[in-house]
Amino acid sequence: MLLQIKNLKVDYGNIEVVRGVDLYINKGECVGIIGESGCGKTTVGLSITKLIPERKGNISSGEILLEDRDILKLDPEELRKIRGKKISYVFQEPFSSLNPVFTIYEQIKEVLEDKKDTNSQIVELFKSVGLEKIIGKKNIYPHELSGGMQQRAMIAMAIASNPSLVVLDEPTTALDVTIQHQILDLIAELKNRMNLSILFISHDLRIVFSIADKIGIMYAGKIVEYGPKEKISSNPAHPYTIGLIDSIPSFEHRKKLFNAIGGRAPLFSDLPKGCKFYPRCRFRIDKCLEKEPELELVSDNHVSRCIRIAYIVSV
């Protein structure tokens, strides 16, 4: 097991936004997390190397084991050596994530461990992420690249030191659709070639289905369903997942309205009691209000946080 996240809880001030998340990533595996904006998925990603701004957020409990070493217990210097080397990140907005006043070359050079012959290393990286166009152009700044090329540069930075895990936090959300496709192809290719382990965070179900091996669906700070992607797509066992899959627009039904999930995600400061999805659920019964359900086994490797699994799976 490469990475194990156990019972992770994070709060911002007094408001808990990650309320106990467990997640496991094997070597060479891509795990996707899906959820609406503000469900805590980005916070989970940032927590892995304690990147949450110190004054704002606080990891209140849990363990994050990277190859059996608890990252949360490391001192800042040890943590720093893991960041960018063993665990690297690609963020949502490539433009604002690159420093505007340093050249692309400089910014990539900073992550290279071997400071000798950095140029040829950068050339190799550019080749592997499809940035052949700017090879040798040392004076090029981020704003001179298109959004897709900026994201390729971010990816080059993320894979520069052969990391064990890459956290991709909505890497394609800020890009237009054709570029999205190219970036996803690149990620899939790198994953196979370098045997990368990936945590892929997104709100776009179709993207995650296309790239992930396992999928976790997050709602209101907890994982509500988790399993291999085939099982999640063919046999969803949580009402929220069913709602998400139904809301994907399809070509056959293009004249119909989208099947959106009614209502809106609850505020963390005002969570409903019992099952957090109760107010929006179409399978709800009174028993759901009694307490928040635990994750229960649907089949092998497939769990769901719902007390009506048997009924849901049968319909």
Partner 1 sequence: MNKFILKRIMGLIFLLFGITVVTFIVIHIAPGKPTDLEAQFNPKVSMEARERISHLYGLDKPLAIQYIEWLKRVVRLDFGISFMDSRPVMQKILERIPITLTIELISIVLILLIGIPIGVISAVKEGSFYDKFMTVFVFIGFAAPTFWLSLILMDFIGVRWGLLPISGIKSLEFEKFGFLEKAIDISKHLVLPVLVSAFGGLAGISRYMRSSMLNVLKQDYIRTARAKGLTEKEVLYKHALKNALLPVVTILGLSVPGLIGGSVIFESIFSIPGMGRLFYESVMARDYPVIMGVLVIGAILTLLGNLLADISYAAVDPRIKLE
Nearest CB to partner 1, comparing residues 198 and 307: 198
Cβ atoms of 296 and 224 closer than 8 Å? no
Q: For residues 238 and 250, what is the distance between their CA atoms, to the nearest angstrom? A: 21
Q: According to CB under 8 A, which residues from 152 to 171 bind partner 1?
A: 154, 157
Binding string to partner 1 for residues 92 to 131, with x set by CB under 8 A, is what?
A: -x--xxxxxxxx------xx--------------------
Angle between helices 177-194 and 147-159 (to 10 degrees): 20
Q: Among residues 15, 51, 194, 271, which is the contact residue for partner 1, using CB under 8 A?
A: 51
Provide, rounded to whole angstroms, the least separation between the CB of residue 76 and partner 1.
Answer: 8
Residue in the block written with tokens 């063993």? 86
Nearest CB to partner 1, comparing residues 98 and 224: 98
| Residue 206: closest CA among 147, 249, 267 | 249
- Judged by CB under 8 A, the stretch of 4-12, 86-94, 127-135, 260-268 that binds partner 1 is 86-94
Nearest CB to partner 1, comparing residues 86 and 229: 86
Tokens of 199: 């945590």
Please name the residues in contact with 144: beta carbons below 8 A apart, sequence gap of 6 or more.
none
Q: For residues 101 and 198, what is the distance between their CA atoms, to the nearest angstrom? A: 30
Nearest CB to partner 1, comparing residues 93 and 213: 93
Element (H, E) at 179: helix 177-194
Q: Does 49 bind partner 1 (CB under 8 A)?
A: yes
Nearest CB to partner 1, comparing residues 96 and 299: 96
Q: Does 151 bind partner 1 (CB under 8 A)?
A: no
Provide, rounded to whole angstroms, the least separation between the CB of residue 161 and partner 1.
Answer: 8
Q: Among residues 5, 40, 66, 89, which is the contact residue for partner 1, using CB under 8 A?
A: 89
- Tally of CB atoms within 10 A around 249: 11
Residue in the block written with tokens 């997390």? 33
Beta strands 3-12 and 15-25: pairing type? antiparallel
Q: Does 12 bind partner 1 (CB under 8 A)?
A: no
- Tally of CB atoms within 10 A around 291: 11
Q: According to CB under 8 A, which residues from 197 to 256 bind partner 1?
A: none
**Contacts to partner 1 by CB under 8 A:** 49, 51, 76, 80-85, 88-89, 91, 93, 96-103, 110-111, 141, 143, 154, 157
